[in-house]
Amino acid sequence: MFRTIAIRIVLGLLTLFAVSVLIFVSTEILPGDVASAVLGQGATPETLAVFRAELGLDRPAYTRYFEWFFKAIQGDFGVAMTNKRVIIETLEPRFLNTMFLAGYAALIAVPLSVGLGIVAAINEGKAVDKVANVLSLMTISVPEFFIAYILILFLAVQYDIFPSLSTVFADMSFTERLYVAALPAATLTMLVMAHMLRMTRTSVLSIMSQPYIEMAFLKGLSRSHVILRHALPNAAAPIISVVALNLAYLIVGVVVIEVVFVYPGVGQYMVDGVSKRDLPVVQACGLIFAGAFVGLNTIADVLAILVNPRLRNPR
């Protein structure tokens, strides 16, 4: 078991390294030039050459990659090209804002979706199960920005219950943050709930045809008792995987939501960096998103191994 866990962790680190290469190469081949974007169209070729040299853009790409990567794993993402501010100082409060929004949505979505998935599995074929399937399928089919704008239209414009712009500040109280971030959290909750609900239901029902489940029914146990006591523990591995995948999406997939609600998180910072051709900012945000995604999936793999009885007890 420990060997399997070690292999998963090493594979996660190798994946993160490969993703860092893709991030650097992708940003390098983007059209346009940050020097031209900063200095404007009136800059002379000499001025552009001097500015590129100051930014280090005249050096080979592989040299700049290794320098950037080894500094990044130490927490040094350099300075922004546009305003010369240290990136980590700007990223830290924005990352905390993104984690707050992701945690806010996760605390609502995970227990609610897993609970509804179990209820749908217990009531397979009944009205509750059919309604849950229809609603989850509708939510999956609708783009995230459309859900966001619908919530803004009804809950912010027509009824004025929540603010349409989710701008948070450092001196805000916890309750004010919960109120201001309610609409983006609700949007993220609706997006990830459908996947987790359907996977929970499918995983539990796939176990129901096993012989030991039939034996439990022959003993006279109720369907709810059989699912909660016998089927759910054995269906935990795929449920953990899909929960971790959706938690990673809550962190990585907030880019569109943060832009729609003008939420000051990492996604908004990344979009600003793309619009200004600020490559170090884009690379730093991309690496943070990749680290969160790979890290959560690695944790999911380890937890799936730990909850598997055959791996916990090799004999």
Task: Kindly report, residue by residue over 236-280, the tens digit of the pLDDT.
Answer: 777 777 787 788 888 877 888 888 998 998 988 988 888 877 888
d(C-alpha 155, C-alpha 162), whole Å: 6
Chain-wide mean pLDDT for the chain?
A: 83
Q: Which residue has the higher pLDDT, 206 or 32?
A: 206
Question: What pLDDT, on the 0 to 100 scale, is given for residue 38?
Answer: 64
CB-based contact 180:167 (threshold 8 Å):
yes
- Res. 63 pLDDT band, cuts 50 70 90: confident
- Assess whether pLDDT exceeds 80 at residue 11: yes
Q: Which residue has the higher pLDDT, 177 or 228?
A: 177
Indicate if the alpha-carbon torsion angle 31, 289, 188, 171 is positive or negative.
negative
Domains, in order of start, for the chain: 87-275 (1.10.3720.10)
- Assess whether pLDDT exceeds 90 at residue 35: no
What's the mean pLDDT in 101-122? 87
- Assess whether pLDDT exceeds 70 at residue 36: no
Question: What pLDDT, on the 0 to 100 scale, is given for residue 222?
Answer: 81
Tokens standing for 129?
A: 């199960």
Q: Which residue has the higher pLDDT, 214 or 182?
A: 182
- Res. 154 pLDDT band, cuts 50 70 90: very high
d(C-alpha 226, C-alpha 214), whole Å: 9
Question: What pLDDT, on the 0 to 100 scale, is given for residue 104?
Answer: 92
Question: What pLDDT, on the 0 to 100 scale, is given for residue 179?
Answer: 93
Nearest to 81 by CA among 281, 228, 275, 262: 281
Question: What pLDDT, on the 0 to 100 scale, is given for residue 66?
Answer: 87
Exposure on the CB side of residue 187, measured as CA atoms within 13 A: 31
SS3 33: coil
Question: What pLDDT, on the 0 to 100 scale, is given for residue 107?
Answer: 92
Q: Which residue has the higher pLDDT, 24 or 232?
A: 24
Question: What pLDDT, on the 0 to 100 scale, is given for residue 65?
Answer: 86
DSSP assignment of 256-292 equals HHHHHHT--SHHHHHHHHHHTT-HHHHHHHHHHHHHH
Question: What pLDDT, on the 0 to 100 scale, is given for residue 310?
Answer: 58
CB-based contact 274:26 (threshold 8 Å):
no
